[in-house]
Amino acid sequence: MSTTTIPDSDNSTSQEDNRLAYAHGTVMTITWMVFASTGILFARYGRLLRIGSKRKILGEFIWFQAHRLTLSLAAFSTLLGFFLVLAQATGSWVNLDDDGPYVVAHSILGIIIVGFALIQIWMALFRCHPTTRFRFIFNWLHRSVGLLAFVLSIPTIFLIISTLTNYQSGLYIVMSIWTGWTVFIFGLLEILTYLNQRNSTSSSEHTYRTDREYELRPSSSISNNNTDNDQEDRFNQMKLILLGIYVIIAIALVIPFIVLIWQQN
């Protein structure tokens, strides 16, 4: 009776491929479950944030510094994740017969997301000044491309989970909790923003919040109404707390997700 032995070189190559795939999953998980979601939340709901009496850090608004930092990390880590999986696949595209439809769909969505990340980097580098007449074009393109990439990242992760053999249920549970938590926070902050706008006694403040252009307001339009100031203070505190809780829970969910990724065979 004869036996077939797999050469050590084949085993080491397979292990190296697995490590690259797991590293790809780790990077992309952190990117979209922490960096991207946090950056979008700050851009959407953090434009009036302040810490104490300060609205700026290092000469820029707090929301912009947080937005720029997290989404710059997201863009570059997306490219890193792409190069990791490219190295793992030795530059070859997935095959429907060998890899299955879920992996093919995952790869197609993934390359679209990478393309969006490159577009975002290009637009951010060459964006026009906020006061120029065509700024609204950049604003809408920047928001649309970023939001679409983020939304596509969710089914992309679910697709690859369906191909894993170990701890698949645990990965589904963690990803589902994170998705529900993210939708909940977006919805809650949207409702709180609407209520804050509606209850504001200053029509000029209401307009600026609606247009997300409060930071560009002229100094003469700043309200001295104590009721508005008290309301804004409470709203600011709520947003800081909610954003902080979101980040903590997102990180708490990402950690077991990554651990389960590295438990695959």
- Please check whether residue 195 lies inside any domain of the structure: yes
Q: pLDDT by residue (tens digit) across 83-96? A: 999 988 887 888 88
Mean pLDDT score, 153-162: 95
**Does pLDDT of 211 surpass 50?**
no
DSSP the chain: -------HHHHHHHHHHHHHHHHHHHHHHHIIIIIIHHHHHHHHH-TT--BTTB-EETTEEHHHHHHHHHHHHHHHHHHHHHHHHHHHTTTPPP-HHHH-HHHHHHHHHHHHHHHHHHHHHHHHHTPPPTTSTTHHHHHHHHHHHHHHHHHHHHHHHHHHHTT--SSHHHHHHHHHHHHHHHHHHHHHHHHHHHHHHHH-S-HHHHHHHHHT-GGG--GGG----HHHHHHHHHHHHHHHHHHHHHHHHHHHHHHHHHHHHTT--
Domain count, the chain: 1
User: Does a structural domain hold residue 232?
Assistant: yes
The answer to whether position 8 is within a domain reads: no
Residue 220 lies in a domain: no
153 located within any domain: yes
CB 156 within 8 A of CB 111: no
Answer whether residue 6 is part of any domain: no
Which of these ranges, 14-28, 52-66, 174-188, 221-235, has the smallest mean pLDDT?
A: 221-235
User: Does pTM surpass 0.75?
Assistant: yes
Please tell me which of 91-100, 121-130, 227-236 the model is most confident about, judged by mean pLDDT.
121-130
CATH of the domain at 23: 1.20.120
Query: Which domain covers residue 170, as residue numbers?
Result: 15-213+228-263
Tens digits of per-residue pLDDT, 171-203?
999 999 999 999 999 999 999 888 887 876 543
Region 77-85 average pLDDT? 94
Whether 151 has a pLDDT exceeding 90, the answer reads yes
In a domain, 9, yes or no: no
* Residue 100 maps to a domain: yes
Q: Which of 67-71, 140-144, 207-211 has the least mean pLDDT?
A: 207-211
Question: Within its chain, how far is the Cα of 236 from the centroid?
Answer: 22
